[in-house]
Chains A and B, each alone.
Chain A
Amino acid sequence: MPVALSMTLIVMPALNEEETVGAVVAETLRELPGVSCLVVDDGSTDRTAEIARAAGALVARAPYNLGVGGAMRVGFRYARDHGYRAVVQVDSDGQHDPASVPTLLALLDDADVVIGARFAGVGDYRVTGPRWWAMRVLSAFLSAFTGTRLTDTTSGLRATGPRALTLFAQHYPAEYLGDTIESLVIAHRAGCRIAQVPVAMRPRAGGTASHNPVKSAVYLGRAVVALIFALVGAPRSVAADRLEPKAAP
């Protein structure tokens, strides 16, 4: 049986997304009755947090920018400490359709991490240039490494089941691209199963993407470096070195 929506925490990393976050939170709560929604805002200079809170989301604000990886780890920790069974990462810019969340949750029965893949046939999401190449190379590597066909390893739409959730609450990487690439390596090494499901992507509902052409050009190189480091890094396990004491519920 899939994880109930009431046991699911939607985590939305949000950096300066005041234009979209309100509508995305509202849509999520409407589409997914009973779900909890946590917006993690780390150093937005606009009204992202207020708007998200007004729309009905829980809001965690970090004192400075942690990147998507740091924001997600806040989400995983919150989920672990409050007994949620699944975490689904959804972008706060409106690119992900909350209606696809149940599809992801359904797959958590047989997998620990489910990626909503943007290029797997559904929708017409397109990326070009070095970013596209980087994504292709990464997907090929990670497919071979994990033994599962993965076509979109940098997707920000993914569901995490109970086992991977505990792992990620401790070890979710914060390095650039670590949240997408290294997290899959860590999960696979810890014995978690990874699966993907095709999803349609929508255009950004407003605001601007956090990357630009220059950043995209650097992306390929950094992605490969990130992958190499992830592969040579020491394996993490769920039980090992639990640094922080569990907060009282």
Chain B
Amino acid sequence: MNPVTYALGIAAASLTLVVVAEMLRRRKLRERHAVWWVLAGIVALAIAVFPGLLTAASNLLGVEVPSNLVFFASIAVLFLVCIQHSAELTSVESRMRNVAEHAALLELRVHELEQRSSSGDAS
């Protein structure tokens, strides 16, 4: 393999890991969302450093073109992460709706109490 390509692979994988680590450190990403990206970054780095790993894994699984294994694994991970995000979005939406409904009821209650106390003052 061309040394530039080799370096490029390592740089890209390291960059991913550094970005994820930094976002975790700044609390911009919660651990439970970062798991997939950390795992993917580590696997990518391992393969970038030791390309033999990919060939070995491909042979083991009977995948003729090793890069196809990379595509397959990447798509599978992205797919699962997307589903996880959709599920979380759904639950966040439903919680937001609960909060909004609750806020509407509380506002109504505040209004009622205000009216009651102002009419009480008047009498």
With A58-B108, A59-B108, A60-B107 already in contact, the answer to whether A74 and B98 are too (CB < 8 A) is: no
> B22 contacts the other chain (Cβ, under 8 Å)?
no
Q: How far is the CA of A42 from the CA of B112 in the complex (A)?
A: 18
Contact (Cβ within 8 A) A247 B97: no
> A118 contacts the other chain (Cβ, under 8 Å)?
no
Mask for A63-101, Cβ within 8 A of B = 1, else 0? 110100010011001100100000000000000000000
Contact (Cβ within 8 A) B101 A66: yes
Enumerate A197-249 residues with CB–CB distance to B below 8 Å. Answer: 243-244, 247
Contact (Cβ within 8 A) A174 B103: no
With A66-B97, A70-B97, A174-B97 already in contact, the answer to whether A40 and B102 are too (CB < 8 A) is: no
> A61 contacts the other chain (Cβ, under 8 Å)?
yes
> B100 contacts the other chain (Cβ, under 8 Å)?
yes
Contacts of B111 in A (CB 8 A): 59
> A62 contacts the other chain (Cβ, under 8 Å)?
yes
Mask for A35-66, Cβ within 8 A of B = 1, else 0? 00010101000000000000000111111101
Contacts of A62 in B (CB 8 A): 100-101, 103-104
Contacts of A61 in B (CB 8 A): 104, 107-108
Q: How far is the CA of A70 from the CA of B93 in the complex (A)?
A: 12
Enumerate B83-123 residues with CB–CB distance to A below 8 Å. Answer: 97-98, 100-105, 107-109, 111-112
Contacts of B112 in A (CB 8 A): 58
Contact (Cβ within 8 A) A66 B100: yes
Q: Provide the main secondary structure of the chain B interface.
A: helix
Contacts of B108 in A (CB 8 A): 38, 58-61, 78
The residue of chain B having its C-beta at the shortest distance from the C-beta of A172 within the complex is: B101
Contact (Cβ within 8 A) A243 B104: no
Contact (Cβ within 8 A) B100 A63: yes
The residue of chain B having its C-beta at the shortest distance from the C-beta of A43 within the complex is: B100
Contacts of B107 in A (CB 8 A): 60-61
Contact (Cβ within 8 A) A40 B104: yes
Our pick among A42, A174, A247 for the contact of B104 (Cβ within 8 Å) is A42
The residue of chain B having its C-beta at the shortest distance from the C-beta of A62 within the complex is: B104
Q: How far is the CA of A61 from the CA of B102 in the complex (A)?
A: 10
Q: How far is the CA of A164 from the CA of B112 in the complex (A)?
A: 27
Mask for A85-127, Cβ within 8 A of B = 1, else 0? 0000000000000000000000000000000000000000000
The residue of chain B having its C-beta at the shortest distance from the C-beta of A59 within the complex is: B108
Return B96 CB to nearest CB of chain A, in Å: 8
Q: How far is the CA of A147 from the CA of B104 in the complex (A)?
A: 36
Return A87 CB to nearest CB of chain B, in Å: 14
Contacts of A174 in B (CB 8 A): 97
- Quick one: which of B98, B104, B108 has the most chain A CB within 10 A? B104
Return B87 CB to nearest CB of chain A, in Å: 15
Contacts of B105 in A (CB 8 A): 60, 74, 77-78, 81, 247
The 10 A-B residue pairs with the shortest CB-CB distance in the complex, in nearest-first order: A62-B104, A60-B104, A60-B108, A62-B100, A74-B101, A74-B104, A63-B100, A63-B103, A70-B97, A174-B97
Q: A70-B100, A74-B104, A247-B109 are in contact. List 9 more A-B contacts (CB 8 A).
A: A42-B100, A60-B105, A61-B108, A62-B101, A62-B104, A66-B100, A78-B108, A81-B105, A243-B98
* Residues of B in contact with A (beta carbons under 8 Å apart): 97-98, 100-105, 107-109, 111-112
